[in-house]
Amino acid sequence: MTKQKTLIQKFLAHPQSVSFSEIETLFTTFGFTKKQGKGSHIKYSHGKDYIVFSPHNGKIKDYQKKKSLKLLQKKQFL
């Protein structure tokens, strides 16, 4: 099994256990564009859809993880 498939399975099974760097890997794998926002905010966009993260010490809040999961499912990547 590839590293990406393992990461996708981990994200689907336990979204709270996935780190921000792993989420970044998924977003770049699926062709999202990364843009630096104000301060510590990071925006990932794909077409008209986007999500903004505000990582602190390499971690993001659980609600941001859930939003990213919903966005990836909406775009039918997962």
20-35 exposure pattern, b = at least 16 Cβ within 10 A, e = fewer: beebbebbeebebeee
* pLDDT digits 0-9 by tens, 32-73: 999 988 888 999 999 999 999 999 988 999 999 999 999 999
What's the number of domains the chain is made of?
1
pLDDT at 1 over 70: no
Domain that holds residue 36: 3-74
Q: Is the Cβ–Cβ distance between 18 and 65 less than 8 Å?
A: yes
Selected residue with higher pLDDT from 1 and 30: 30
Query: Which CATH number is 9's domain given?
Result: 3.30.920.30
